[in-house]
Structure 1
Amino acid sequence: MHEPTEPLLTALTDRAAGADRPDALTVAGRTLSREELLGAAGAVAAEIAGSPSVAVRAEATPETAVAVVGGLLAGVPVVPLPPDAGPAERDHILKDSGAALVLGPGGDLPVDLRKRADWSAPDENPATTALILYTSGTTGAPKGALISRGAVAAGLDGLAEAWQWTAEDTLVHGLPLFHVHGLVLGVLGALRTGCRLVHTGRPTPQAYAAAGGSLYFGVPTVWSRVVREPDAARALRAARLLVSGSAALPAPVFRDLEALTGQRPIERYGMTETLITLTTRADGERRPGSVGLPLPGVRTRVVAEEGGIGELEVSGPTLFSGYLSRPEATAEAHTADGWFRTGDIATVGADGMHRIVGRASTDLIKSGGYRVGAGEVENALLDHPAVREAAVVGAPHEDLGQEIVAYVVADGVSERALIDFVAGHLSVHKRPRRVRFLEALPRNAMGKPQKKLLPPV
């Protein structure tokens, strides 16, 4: 089993002490040095020490980075809250996680970047929970995935090796800070490698072009917008690596990036429960649609049905520790011999290169880099007094990858009213983009909706 060479915090604090720079972290135009970040995080740690867990309203601000690092310093599990979460989703996450405090704007404890405190981190146990990340399944409310300190360290070290990621890099991205991609890779990854981080706020082509990075992270929606702005795309020619993840990158976008920037993007694969497990290497072949090879210590297998295509299962040091307070769901997500069932359909070439070709279930939607459970949106729609039935699907979309489309049986309510209703109850990005009204949903003899029989979008 591959283990990280340094505990998570040892690397963060040693690099901070030995290589401080005045512009270590810039978020939406506001900058902190590494010393300032750790000093403010130490003050947060002193305030929250001993808490069972804390929630962080994960806006794209320096305060979010400070709050998360403060939780790590104090040894307190951190629960990132989507800043656009509606009251139902927010209340569920806070109640389910048992978070004692909410850090950030409107919370129990504001984060003051001017405060300073030296904080000696507790002895690190790699099995201790670092983060509780809420992930949407195909049914019901989001589940809290327990991510250990050792898993974060192993994943980041594996990516640093695969991408030749060092303190000499400048990482640029504008991704949400409540997901693996933006928070774990995009903030903790920069701190662990010691590189400079520029978070652009919104991930616009112009902001990416102006940032002057060597390493860029984006989801397919970001990259599709970048290639539609050729001047912005050409400004990335000086970058060393363009990384795409969270959903499949369309082949035309892959080719346009190569034509405009002079290099092929790298694609990688992972989930909240696994962190990143597969990636193309910086010095390896970059093929459209390929997510590359396993990270060090990660093993994969495909439970093939036909033609070498089947469900991808993974094991290794980056896997989550289980779902919070849900032993049955944890057991269901694993095989009898302990491998995690990803629910994604994959194929592996003779050279070991992996390709993700689909989803075992039709009910997990990837829209604009977000993973959205159809059941969660259906439940929100059914909360509306005018809605009697609801079925939600993902439909192909040129920009978002998939857009959320709802089919409803309802009386006396408009499409816009239902879209706004869902946006007010869940995160805004989980709202349907379109609503179709039907007389009845197609169902089988057991009464289960048959989504394959829904009329075309």
Structure 2
Amino acid sequence: MPPGPPGPRGRSDSVPEPLLSSLVAPDAADRPDALTIAGRSLSREELLGAAGAVAARIAGASSVAVRAAAEPETVVAVVGGLLAGVPVVPLPPDAGPAERGHILRDSGAELVLGEDVPVDIRERGTWSAPEPAPESTALVLYTSGTTGAPKGALIPRGAVAAGLDGLADAWKWTAEDTLVHGLPLFHVHGLVLGVLGALRTGCRLIHTGRPTPEAYAAAGGSLYFGVPTVWSRVARDHAAARALAGARLLVSGSAALPAPVFRDLEALTGQRPVERYGMTETLITVATRADGERVPGAVGVPLPGVRTRVVETGEEGGIGELEVSGPTLFAGYLGRPEATAAAYTADGWFRTGDIAAIEPDGTHRIVGRASTDLIKSGGYRVGAGEVENALLDHPAVREAAVVGVPHDDLGQEIVAYVVADGIAERELIDFVAGHLSVHKRPRRIRFMDALPRNAMGKPQKKLLPPL
């Protein structure tokens, strides 16, 4: 594991309790449906027993992968890895062979839980080894591949614990809550916040399988997580939205929540949603507090121990690239020391690549992206470079440029400009969907004779013609 850069990225003075302390506590409260995922329930005791059996099988492995489908077996596998102190590598369940192969090769995962190693929620095992040190790796989360193949971000156990404790403080999140969401279990929002957060706070978890308005309305939760696409669909289903009026907190993240959706949710549910901000490499660093002011476009204030600053661009209003430091940051990119070093400033602050404004009261607004190559579609962060590489793998494609175009439902729609011979739009879309995760496919393709390029031969996306 690469050493972290010097400077303010280091841990805060307070050391959080071990990551799984709430789950393994002998006096932890339990119920038969402590975790319900896609209609299948487990108690915390049953989860711990099944995960203990997994831990016994994989102890000593360098890392293990988990096909992170929305099912109880995924949670058992992840918790089994965490119990055994083996870094867990979540795999998108819809990953194509190229993406899956890259993640497995790059991570060095020795086993795929549920394939090479059985995962049975009915099995019971006992695991009594002490938890690993806070600086040891809990998860290897793969980034969006903005400039090429995705990189593995090493997420320490202490970073996860600190981030979840900070959100519990910000949102008054306790064991009395029932958390509801239907988010994918292979990234920060669905897995770290939506599963490990429930286990750490001791609250009940209902994962709806698919995040439909009907499923959210029927769940009867006090705390709901969603991405803007989910909330947009909920707001259009007035009956479903009104059913959430009894909830304590509606949380939106992974992309900016459109102001009209914010206002519609307020009108239909009687409460304003809260937003938060983070990245794979930083986890969640900034969040609107439950007792704070909720304003469209604002993502709140830093969590305890987190510091932020903007490097101003000279524009009016103190806007600049957001840089962060604190206890929630990753330990580096797996096997990429140069990329790790480039992600930090000389004095140790992480460069987010996002453009932000910090108001006098500390409220943060994310106003744009330093690069045009990160697309946020349906709550997913999709790297244009990864999609371009997949397009170029097709023998008929000579050139490709991928951009995000504003879309009322998805936030951004993935659109590809392609120079190719003898291939139809649908065939090329299906090719990418079979090569990468399905959600990374272009929704539209425009065929061109040539892409605009600069003198160095680099495509100039700002010069691409409108659709």
TM-score (normalizing by structure 1): 0.98
CA deviation vs aligned residue, 1:221-243 (integer Å, no higher than 9, x gap)? 00000000000000000000000
Contact 2:22 2:28 in 1 (8 A): no
| d(CA) in 1 for partners of 2:262, 2:14 | 33
Contact 2:23 2:48 in 1 (8 A): no
- The equivalent of 1:384 in structure 2 is 394
**CA RMSD between the two structures:** 0.8
CA deviation vs aligned residue, 1:11-67 (integer Å, no higher than 9, x gap)? 3211x6421111100000000001000000000000100000000000000000000
Indicate which of 394, 404, 409 corresponds to 1:394: 404
Offset of 1:3 from its aligned partner?
3.2
Indicate which of 179, 182, 189 corresponds to 1:174: 182
- The equivalent of 2:349 in structure 1 is 339
Amino acid aligned to 1:437: F
Give the number of equivalent residue pairs. 454
Greater RCO structure (CA 8 Å; 6+ sep): 2
Could you say if the C-alpha distance between residues 168 and 98 of structure 1 is closer, same or farther in structure 2, counting changes exceeding 3 Å? same
TM-score (normalizing by structure 2): 0.96
Structure 2 residue 21 is the aligned partner of structure 1 residue 13: no
- The equivalent of 1:297 in structure 2 is 305
Offset of 1:77 from its aligned partner?
0.2
Could you say if the C-alpha distance between residues 301 and 169 of structure 1 is closer, same or farther in structure 2, counting changes exceeding 3 Å? same
| d(CA) in 1 for partners of 2:425, 2:118 | 38
- The equivalent of 1:102 in structure 2 is 112
Pairs within 5 Å for 1:270-419:
270-305=278-313, 306-307=315-316, 308-419=318-429
Amino acid aligned to 1:120: S
Pairs within 5 Å for 1:118-267:
118-267=126-275
Contact 1:268 1:278 in 2 (8 A): yes
| d(CA) in 1 for partners of 2:143, 2:241 | 32
Of all paired residues, the percent bearing the same amino acid is: 84
- The equivalent of 2:14 in structure 1 is 3
Amino acid aligned to 1:43: A
Structure 2 residue 53 is the aligned partner of structure 1 residue 49: no
SS of the residue aligned with 2:426? helix
| d(CA) in 1 for partners of 2:177, 2:130 | 30
Amino acid aligned to 1:142: P
Contact 2:21 2:200 in 1 (8 A): no
| d(CA) in 1 for partners of 2:154, 2:240 | 38
CA deviation vs aligned residue, 1:326-385 (integer Å, no higher than 9, x gap)? 000001111011110000000011111000000000000000000000000000000000
Offset of 1:121 from its aligned partner?
3.0
Amino acid aligned to 2:306: V
| d(CA) in 2 for partners of 1:126, 1:208 | 35
Pairs within 5 Å for 1:437-448:
437-448=447-458
Q: Which runs of 5+ in 2 are unaligned?
A: 1-11
| d(CA) in 2 for partners of 1:9, 1:316 | 21
